[in-house]
Chains A and B, each alone.
With several copies, the nearest count.
Chain A
Amino acid sequence: MCLAVPGKIVSVNETDPLFRLGVVDFGGVTREVNLACVPEAVPGDYVIVHVGMALSVLDEETALQTRREMREIVENTDPL
């Protein structure tokens, strides 16, 4: 469920919080996206978009950390 696609915020149009709009680039295609639920997002951020609304901002820290954790799990349990 819930087709959601990551893209990069190109610009933000600050208006009323309910109508905060950004132009988001999805690998060569851009679309206007509502940013009301990611008030912290700024141009340059990656967001994941569903039904025209950004749901979440990419956490690069976590992304890297996940990768590290993964590797640990893999390494720790390899011998089994």
Chain B
Amino acid sequence: MQEEVRQLIEELRHAVTRPWAVMEVCGGQTHAIASLGLEELLPPGLRLIHGPGCPVCVTAVELIDQAVELSLRPGVVLCSYGDMMRVPGSRGDLFSAKAGGGNVFLMYSPLEAVAYAGSHPDTEVVFFAVGFETTAPATALALQQARMLGYANFSVLCAHVLVPPALEWLMDQDEGRPDAFLAPGHVCAVTGEMDYVRLAARYRTPMVVTGFEAPDLLRGILMCVRQLEAGEYVVRNAYGRYVKPGGNRAAQERMNEVFEPEDRRWRGLGLIPGGGMRLRREWNDMDAVLRFECGKGRPGADEASGCLAGQVLRGLIRPGECPFFGSSCTPLAPLGAPMVSGEGACAAYYHYKRS
């Protein structure tokens, strides 16, 4: 074990005097924590709650249904990140849409989809844009590129979501409020710390911007614990090498030019005021839902499955406490989204902690 990690663990042992629950918001952190086995190294009393920060897990069923529908339209190619392929909608996932005749292309970047649209002018190229504030600037850039190049066959199915409204929603619930948050490092690299400063003050809850390596995570946790033990509740930055207080202005400007907030259903949680982003009116011509007059989807379809994702994502139960975990819900046949993504809390537990 690295000396730095050993030392941080030692510090944590000394720092914790009372039970604390710290939520890592970000699914990438959940994944790292589970694969490193970090929880087993934490002092007793210090508990991690795995938050709703996996954009795959929280993408509403109706949006997946729209993606499936679009992929099946003749002449349309739906481009998606690999993460979304196995997430169940109400009528199957994108892999089954593909097997059933849909055109689904895996892409690593929306900019690739723009290039594809340029080389296939007779194909309608729809990019399925999921992700938090980290990912949204690339979508904005893709739309700007496509418009500049005059690619009339490029459009976006916009599923972007915003983190701060979700934290607000969590803190407004009656149960399951964590004592502190690890704020998502890569989101903050774009947005900066302002929203979190506001939330920390309003809910009197410490927040520490945190990265993804073992030392980063431990430092973030330690900086939370220090505040909790000291009765402080401010924003601190444990990932300062990449996150400036003001974030990335250029990225923020691109996002603001293209998107505006809207209320959005988060899968497993429910309607979160201001929790999503839609294209601004000026970009309506590149909004796939409008261009293809997609059906509105059937909200709530996933709740029928019995999946307890809502309670897992709010930290009310651990994945292993869900009665379906590992039996009728596995990565091969997931009942809910958190079992699909490598980042989903249930999948992370399944892969690394079944023992």
Does chain A touch chain B in the assembled complex, meaning CB atoms less than 8 Å apart?
yes
Chain A facing B: main interface SS? mixed
Contact between chains at A34 and B111 (CB < 8 Å) = yes
Within A40-71, the residues touching B (CB, 8 Å) are: 48, 50-53, 55-56, 58-60, 62-63, 65-66, 69-70
Contact between chains at B219 and A53 (CB < 8 Å) = no
State whether the Cβ of B98 lies closer than 8 Å to any Cβ in chain A. no
Chain B facing A: main interface SS? helix
Contact between chains at B189 and A18 (CB < 8 Å) = no
Give the residue of A1, A39, A51, A53 whose beta carbon is less than 8 angstroms from that of B28. A1
Contact between chains at B241 and A55 (CB < 8 Å) = no
State whether the Cβ of B135 lies closer than 8 Å to any Cβ in chain A. yes
15 intermolecular pairs with C-beta atoms under 8 Å apart: A1-B27, A1-B54, A1-B186, A1-B187, A34-B109, A36-B254, A37-B251, A58-B241, A59-B242, A63-B240, A66-B238, A66-B239, A70-B238, A73-B223, A78-B11
Contact between chains at A2 and B184 (CB < 8 Å) = yes
How many A-B residue pairs lie within 8 Å, measured between CB atoms?
125
Chain A residues with Cβ under 8 A from B15's Cβ? 77, 80
Chain B residues with Cβ under 8 A from A51's Cβ? 81, 108-110, 131, 135, 138
CA distance A65 to B11 in the complex (A): 19
Distance of B125 from chain A, by nearest CB (Å): 16
Contact between chains at A18 and B250 (CB < 8 Å) = no
Contact between chains at A66 and B240 (CB < 8 Å) = yes
State whether the Cβ of B17 lies closer than 8 Å to any Cβ in chain A. yes
State whether the Cβ of B193 lies closer than 8 Å to any Cβ in chain A. no
Partner-binding segment picked from B39-47, B140-148, B284-292: B140-148
Give the residue of A1, A6, A52, A65 whose beta carbon is less than 8 angstroms from that of B111. A52
State whether the Cβ of B313 lies closer than 8 Å to any Cβ in chain A. no
Task: Give the residue name and chain of the A residue nearest to B54 (CB).
Answer: A1
Task: Give the residue name and chain of the B residue nearest to A34 (CB).
Answer: B111
Given contacts A55-B190, A62-B244, A37 and B137 within 8 Å (CB-CB): yes
State whether the Cβ of B237 lies closer than 8 Å to any Cβ in chain A. yes
Task: Give the residue name and chain of the B residue nearest to A70 (CB).
Answer: B219
Contact between chains at A62 and B111 (CB < 8 Å) = no
State whether the Cβ of B275 lies closer than 8 Å to any Cβ in chain A. no
Given contacts A51-B109, A56-B242, A2 and B132 within 8 Å (CB-CB): yes
State whether the Cβ of A29 lies closer than 8 Å to any Cβ in chain B. no
- Mark A27-39 against chain B: 1 for CB-CB distance below 8 A, else 0: 0000000101111
State whether the Cβ of B53 lies closer than 8 Å to any Cβ in chain A. yes
Contact between chains at A66 and B237 (CB < 8 Å) = yes
- Mark B107-148 against chain A: 1 for CB-CB distance below 8 A, else 0: 011111000000000000000000110110110010011001
Give the residue of B14, B137, B186, B343 whose beta carbon is less than 8 angstroms from that of A80. B14
Chain A residues with Cβ under 8 A from B186's Cβ? 1-2, 4, 48, 50, 55
CA distance A42 to B227 in the complex (A): 38
Contact between chains at B254 and A37 (CB < 8 Å) = yes
Contact between chains at B111 and A56 (CB < 8 Å) = no
Task: Give the residue name and chain of the B residue nearest to A52 (CB).
Answer: B109
State whether the Cβ of B338 lies closer than 8 Å to any Cβ in chain A. no
Contact between chains at B14 and A53 (CB < 8 Å) = no
Distance of A39 from chain B, by nearest CB (Å): 6
Residue from A4, A55, A59, A77 having most chain B Cβ neighbours under 10 A: A55
Chain B residues with Cβ under 8 A from A70's Cβ? 219, 223, 238
Give the residue of A1, A16, A63 whose beta carbon is less than 8 angstroms from that of B26. A1
Residue from B131, B223, B239, B241 having most chain A Cβ neighbours under 10 A: B241
